[in-house]
Copies of this chain bind each other. A is one copy, B any other.
Amino acid sequence: MKRHILAVAVTMGLMTTSVLASEDVAALEQRINELEQRVAQTEQVSTEANEKASSFEFHGYARSGLLINDDLNGATGTGPYMTTAGAIGAPIGRLGVEDDHYVEANLIHKRFADDGSSALFRIMLADSTETNNEWTASESQLNVRQVYSELNRLSMFSESEAFSEATFWAGKRFDRDNFDIHFFDSDIVFLSGTGAGVYDVQMSDNWKANFSIYGRDFGEIDSSSTDVENYIATMNNRIGQWQVMLSGMTSADNDSRLNGAAESGVHAMFAYHGDNFFGLSEGFSKTGMLVGSGLGAELKGIGSNGDLLDDAKAVRLFSYGVTRIGDNWRLAPALMAEHSQDRLKKNDEFTWASLNVRLAQEFTENFEMVYEGSLQYMDLDNSTEQASGGFYKATVAPTLKLSTSTGFFDRPELRFAVSYVDWSEDLNGYSISTEADAATMGEGGEVLFALQMETWF
């Protein structure tokens, strides 16, 4: 019986506990009920905020700053295309020589459908001015550079291997797959204009291709109200790390607009997109070649130059890369070189090569010293006159940013820069253009001081 009594005693003690627990449980149940309701409401609010049918995005690029010469006046005629060969697209390193206020503001609207397809609309406003004053209406260049729509992952192609991931587009745009050498402020290809196309057609496991048609304007023949346009058809292939881009173009009546001008052209780019720094270290590198003839001989801005001769031929090489050296240094060398002939005048012949090295020395998470050395060799024959020689620039730029460790492309940057620019005397009075009053390069040997911000997002 003792065990019994004990047992019951235990049971009695338990009784109290259990009764309490029972009351607790009811209260807990009530609290859980309430919680479930509140969580359901909160989930709905969060879901509505997230699963919205449309969204807005703001993206942009901007640079703005003061550029002062060693007479303490505003510097004029500077920039990455300041050399004589700049007129045919030869850049120098941009750091410390940019005098403009350039803005791109992208307003983007996206629409999402329940079936996983989506649409994107973009307008890009852009402006470029040189005045440092704040009311710029008299020299405003504000304009709409892009206005296009895209349709992505259309449900009608969901079963298609080739088109299930494709993007269709039409309107005025910069081609999505343009890419640049930032340090030169030069695109490697800058395909743009108005047209339509399709991106990311899966040709095979390792091969994606874009197909597009772009139109560009060369001007009007007033006498016949003919609006001369150039129509460019492009196939842009990405096979592993290789890119092969082929373009053909035709512009009816361009010869009537300008005697001797080409009415067709071809253009090709071969590029290798390396995911390391030339096989030597971490980083990336891009190397390749562009060739073109006729209207295709404007190698960067494909089909954008209507004044090219029918015999125009050009070839361009490029290579650049970005890497880290040790803990606190970063390196970015870049090379671009071009040879062209029969470009604007029969028997003209232009050769140039630009070499740029940008180095960054990180002192803290927010401060780095940036150094840039730039060389350009030019051998120019505009069919009437010849000149050859070199340009060089050296720049030092103490720079503030949020994160030096993120590398060369972290923005915004606020920078002070001092540059010295000089060039061969032979180039002083020379111009690519054969017109009498064409601008020439002036005299070199100048120190430039810059206060500048640059950002993108």
Contacts and interface: CB of A to CB of B under 8 A. Distances in A.
A255 interface: no
A423 to B, nearest CB: 17
A402 B21 CA distance: 54
B7 A11 contact: yes
B151 A129 contact: no
A29 interface: yes
Contacts of A45: 46-47, 49-50
A96 interface: no
A445 to B, nearest CB: 16
A317 to B, nearest CB: 26
A230 to B, nearest CB: 9
A31 B36 contact: yes
Contacts of A58: 56, 107, 109
A140 to B, nearest CB: 4
Given A66-B194, A121-B412, A76 B22 contact: no
A444 B227 CA distance: 17
A241 interface: no
Contacts of A281: none
A194 B407 CA distance: 27
B170 A65 contact: yes
Interface residues of A, number: 135
Contacts of A101: 144, 147, 171-172, 194
Contacts of A177: none
B156 A364 contact: yes
Interface in A226-270: 226-229, 231, 250, 252-253
Interface in A97-146: 101, 103, 105, 107, 109, 111, 113, 115, 117-119, 121, 123, 125-129, 131-137, 140-146
For A46, A66, A215, A366, the residue with the greatest tally of chain B CB atoms inside 10 Å of its CB is A66
Contacts of A115: 365
Interface string A392-416: 0000000011110000000010111
A94 interface: no
Nearest to A56: B58
Nearest to A8: B7
Interface stretch (A181-189, A331-339, A426-434, A449-457): A449-457
A143 B133 contact: no
A132 B402 contact: no
Interface in A22-56: 22, 24-25, 28-29, 31-32, 35-36, 38-39, 41-43, 45-47, 49-50, 54, 56
Contact of A28 (B32, B71, B121, B220): B32
Contacts of A280: none
Nearest to A456: B121
A174 B140 CA distance: 18
Interface stretch (A12-20, A318-326, A378-386): A12-20
Contacts of A141: 137, 140
Contacts of A22: 17-18, 20-21
Contact of A365 (B76, B155, B193, B401): B155
Contacts of A400: 151, 154, 168
Given A73-B227, A132-B172, A154-B366, 14 more contacts: A7-B12, A11-B14, A18-B18, A45-B46, A46-B49, A56-B58, A74-B229, A76-B226, A128-B137, A134-B146, A137-B141, A137-B142, A170-B451, A194-B451
12 contacts: A7-B8, A17-B18, A24-B29, A31-B36, A38-B39, A68-B215, A72-B250, A101-B147, A113-B403, A137-B143, A140-B141, A142-B142
